[in-house]
A and B are shown apart, each in its own frame.
Chain A
Amino acid sequence: MQQEQSSTFTTIEDVQKAMQAQHYIADRSLATAVFLALKRRKPLLLEGEPGVGKTEVAKVLATILGTDLIRLQCYEGIDISTAVYEWNYTRQMLHIRVMEASHLNRQEELKEIFGPEFLLRRPLLQAIDPTNGKAPVLLIDELDRSDEEFEAYLLELLSDFQITIPEIGTIHAQEPPYVIITSNRTREIHDALRRRCLYYWIDYPSLEKEYAIIMARMPDVPEQLARQVCTFVREVRGLDLFKAPGVAETLDWISSLLALNQKELIDSAVRDTLGALLKYQDDILKVGSSDLPKLVQKARGVSR
């Protein structure tokens, strides 16, 4: 019964192809991890440098499963009232006044005040709502930004997929959601949580893969430009930079170059648009000062 939706994917290739159809180029190893996460209903913990497409996995997954994406962006101090549920206090108090005016029975009144219509559902509660027709994809984004307290709470949620609200009772997920957790490693995620997840490290793509990604995402890009950009970006990643560009930056850079009507890489245009690729002044100086013409030459040389 539970397998009904995910049974459309019986092999790893199916997952890989479905993701490709949504313009997400996944390695077979990533497809395996996603496939297993679907089959085992285990959370998938994705780590990797910023901009390699961690969050995108969840979005694509929701699309290929034809289900909702519920996203929880983590930040320091995130707590139950912003992540799970909150009572609508204003409405509750107004309601009490109305009831008082109409002299109703106190017991009923109490029950009503803590009824579902006064409950504000936050992402985690939405994700395990028993009335969900299809299991949604729950994206817990940048978990490393939250603190230990929230992580501990999550541990409990992810093992049982149930939430207890004292006034109402325990809410069970009819269909546990597919959980994708991402982390940029600004803080170490605790071992206890890691052990409950499937783990996958998304690396920078290879030259071929990055080219495939560009062509999948932006089919209008001239082939020559795409090749040159891939080579250039790979060279830049090899330099000792503070923040090497991710795939997101590559795509961003290409659209900047397209906006300037570039057909291939030219020193001046590269210099002007470097800010789309590199996000630190030191890095821009480093790439821009010495080796830029050489890098551009190298990138152009390949496609000739």
Chain B
Amino acid sequence: MNSQHPNTPDKPGTTGTIELLPVEIEHGERLLFRLTEFGRLLWESGLNIGPRQMLDVAETLNYIDIKNKEDFYNTLKSSLLTRHEQEPIFDQMFGYYWFMRDNPNKKTDRGGAAKREERQMRLPPSERKRLAEHLNTNELRKELRQEMRQTERRRTHQEQDRYDDENDEAPPQGTAYSAIEQLRKKDFENFTWDEVQEAKRLMAEMRWHLGLRLTRRKKPARNGSYPDMRRIVRRNLKYGAELLELTWRETKLKPRPLVIICDISGSMSLYSRLLLHFIHTISNGLLNVEAFVFGTRLTRITRQLKKRDVDDAVRDVSKSVQDWSGGTRIGDALHYFNHKWAKRVLGRGAVVLIISDGWDRGDASVLQAEMDRLQHNCHRLIWLNPLLGSPDYRPLTIGMKTALPYIDNFLPAHNLDSLIYLGNLLSTIDDSKPDRSPAARHKAVEAWSKPRR
């Protein structure tokens, strides 16, 4: 980096218009220091910013008038930000670092930059905590810290309750390890604590493969169906103008994207935590897995599941999800998914996996419309229902009845065996389209409404 920063002020007397850095214009080394500190703050709040970006920003600032706070803000933003989702975090941090920290009395005036983005999104708890840690050194922020302590305390209460609940449901009975065979067939509902641990271990050992799809890309192959002209010309130069050796290319195959939408409402509470482990094992081994959970609303948990350690990941998920074990509104959740996420994650022949018991408290007509739309937009729509494990289960709830015609594969998800079966199914999904004609739909519904066995 240039040790001499070109933004040394040519006019030492500051003009009156500057609100950005109220005491004096920061420049040279001081500015670099502040920038680095700001970069670190952003990094701590979860933005992926390294020294390279900071060097880059320092250089970029040469081109603008840093005394103009709006330009300064815009420049930092377009240089450091890489995702639309992170804008609120950036804005908050920017407002805090460049306005509030030095200038506590101006707290109400959040500065032009932050004010323009009137999105008013709150930081997720984890970010607030990080911010609090950063603030620790700064005594001016006491009140903010108090607020944060409160929210944290409240959260621990909830967690405590949840922990108690869990203990009620699955008291450690000290039973011996069941034989794996037996365990595989046992309903999750009846698992003891030890069995849950064993099941988690077994799940972690499962290996997943997704069905392949044809891409538009070609790759060299021994026996393909497309001539590889570049290689043909090169190889045959030695024969003069005759083409004697032919080389080929064939279509490249890639695994299909998988989108998991998991119900975590109250009626699913026995299953949802184990199923989260299951989702983690799937998404960890595979690229291209997007995961969402819903109760009354939909939360994307893909990023949280990227953590290697399953317990860390599940803990992160539980923190970011607000509506554990609440009511279910499948239709609304799917509506939100279709509107906000479908375009972004359902490309390239995705397979959608919905995990829910179908106890819907929402509007059936919404559910129907959204299921229809969802099925249209994906290659295969699989619904896993833990209740399906019981032999006399029939889809009689309104939610399940409404959704049934739009499901391509309706499968149980109550024990380890059913998950293994699912794994096999996923790996066999090919390019053939499932039968979605009205007749086929009718038949499927008929088949399910008869008592089985």
Residues of A within 8 A of B (CB): 11-12, 28-29, 32-33, 35-36, 39-40, 45, 47, 75-77, 79, 81, 86-87, 89, 92-93, 96-97, 100, 110, 113, 147, 149, 184-188, 191, 194-195, 197-201, 240-242, 282
Contact = CB atoms under 8 A, between A and B. Distances in A.
Contact of B82 (A75, A79, A194, A241): A194
Contacts, number: 102
Interface in B55-75: 59-60, 63-65, 70-71, 74-75
Interface in B359-390: 369, 373
22 contacts: A29-B70, A29-B77, A32-B71, A35-B64, A36-B75, A39-B63, A45-B82, A87-B229, A87-B233, A89-B232, A89-B233, A96-B240, A185-B344, A186-B347, A187-B348, A188-B344, A194-B83, A197-B82, A199-B81, A200-B78, A242-B339, A282-B369
B215 A36 contact: no
A27 to B, nearest CB: 9
B339 A240 contact: yes
A206 B301 CA distance: 32
Which of B63, B70, B77, B78 is the most central at the interface, judged by chain A CB atoms within 10 Å of its CB?
B78
A197 B81 CA distance: 10
Interface in B234-268: 237, 240-241, 243
Contacts of A45: 82
Given A77-B215, A87-B233, A198 B84 contact: no
A36 B82 contact: no
Nearest to A195: B82
Nearest to A34: B78
Give 10 nearest A-B pairs by CB, closest first: A77-B216, A194-B82, A32-B74, A77-B217, A33-B78, A39-B63, A97-B241, A29-B74, A96-B241, A76-B216
A282 B369 CA distance: 10
Given A77-B216, A93-B241, A186 B78 contact: no
Interface in B198-234: 215-218, 229-230, 232-233
Contacts of B348: 76, 187
B78 A199 contact: yes
A185 B347 CA distance: 10
Contacts of A11: 65
Given A32-B75, A36-B63, A79 B217 contact: yes
B48 interface: yes
Contacts of B52: 195
Nearest to B302: A188
B8 interface: no
B82 A40 contact: no
A36 B78 contact: yes
Contacts of B84: 47, 201
B48 A195 contact: yes
A187 B82 contact: no
A191 B84 CA distance: 13
B79 interface: yes
Contacts of A36: 60, 63-64, 75, 78-79
Which of B82, B83, B215 is the most central at the interface, judged by chain A CB atoms within 10 Å of its CB?
B82
Contacts of A199: 78, 81-83
Contacts of B338: 242
Contacts of A33: 74, 78
A200 B237 CA distance: 49
A195 B60 contact: no
Contacts of B237: 96, 110, 113
Which of B52, B74, B215 is the most central at the interface, judged by chain A CB atoms within 10 Å of its CB?
B74
A11 B348 CA distance: 43
